Amino acid sequence: MASRHLARTIALQTLYQWDFMGQKEDEVLSAASKNIKEFAPNFEEGGFVVELVKGVDENKKEIDKLIKKYAPEWPIEKITLVDRNVLRLGIYELKFAGGKKDKPVPPRVVINEAIELAKAFGSGSSGKFINGVLGAIYKDMLAAGEVVEEKDKEKK
């Protein structure tokens, strides 16, 4: 398993645990540290796990607004814990993490990773649901000029 994929998996497990236990802000980072030690001792991407978990925590209100906007048929509390947290993770990477790194993760990679997490940990329809929501957000980001299509970057 690629190290970034494992990092996202641990981040998802942490966010799931955090959501299940009532989202106590002071517990999310300690849960991330415990999960890194338990699931991937000597893991070199532990900082990425913490970045993802902390980023979702810090931007949760804005992320949840986007979920409500792009999945209006599904009240956020009715979305399964797995799907809700895969969406939070994916939206954080799409909308909020790009400016924090020298080399942001390409949006299509973020979406594909989220779909894979949903397929691995969610229900049979989770991948399609996640793809639909993140794909719609990405499409609007393209239209707003927030991101540039991968193939368009190569032309510049």
> What CATH number should be reported for the domain holding residue 19?
1.10.940.10
Number of domains comprising the chain:
1
Is pLDDT above 70 for 37?
Answer: yes
Give the pLDDT mean for 14-27: 83
- Per the model's pLDDT, the better-predicted residue between 82 and 44 turns out to be 82
Which pTM does this prediction carry? 0.89
Give the pLDDT mean for 99-119: 85
pLDDT over 70 percentage in the chain: 88
Spatial separation of the C-alpha atoms in residues 125 and 122, rounded to whole Å: 8
Q: What is the extent of the structural domain holding 132?
A: 3-155
29-47 in b/e form (b: 16+ CB < 10 A) is eebbeebbeeebeebebbe
CA nearest to 147, candidates 109, 111, 110, 95: 95
- Per the model's pLDDT, the better-predicted residue between 43 and 65 turns out to be 65
Q: Given the structure tokens 């991330």, which residue do they identify?
A: 32
**Residue 156's pLDDT band (cuts 50, 70, 90):** very low
Q: Which two tokens stand for residue 130?
A: 């996640």
**Residue 153 pLDDT:** 53
